[in-house]
Amino acid sequence: MGEVIDMTLTELRKNIYTVVAEVLKTGRTIEIHSRGRTILLSPGGGDSKLDRLRKAARRKALVGKPEDIIHMNWDMEWHPRHI
């Protein structure tokens, strides 16, 4: 964990986007003080957007051959609601 920066909730509210960008860029933790309590804002370890995209590409949404779906008969499964 990097250097800790103190600020009030009002200061955070005024500069939320700048503060969050700074936390993500530098890895510093920010202590936000409000009504006698402290909230810590710190970067979490997460995958990059590219890593998440690569994982999503490996998922299989369809098990089987696409041609099998074309010829499925759903008449017995589908029951429309009568309003």
Give the domains, in start order, of the chain with CATH numbers: 4-70 (3.40.1620)
pLDDT at 58: 65
Name the pLDDT band for 3 (thresholds 50, 70, 90). low
The region, left, alpha or beta by phi > 0 then psi within -120 to 50, assigned to residue 27 is left
Which has the higher per-residue pLDDT, 55 or 36? Answer: 36
Q: Quick one: pLDDT at residue 6?
A: 84
Q: Looking up tokens 């779906």, which residue turns up?
A: 69
Pairing label, strands 29-34, 37-41: antiparallel
Cα gap 31→39, rounded to integer Å? 6
What value, to the nearest 5°, has the Cα angle with vertex 6 and ends 2 and 7? 135
The pTM assigned to this predicted structure is 0.48
45-64: average pLDDT: 72
Cβ atoms within 10 Å of 28's Cβ, excluding its own: 17
* pLDDT at residue number 60: 61
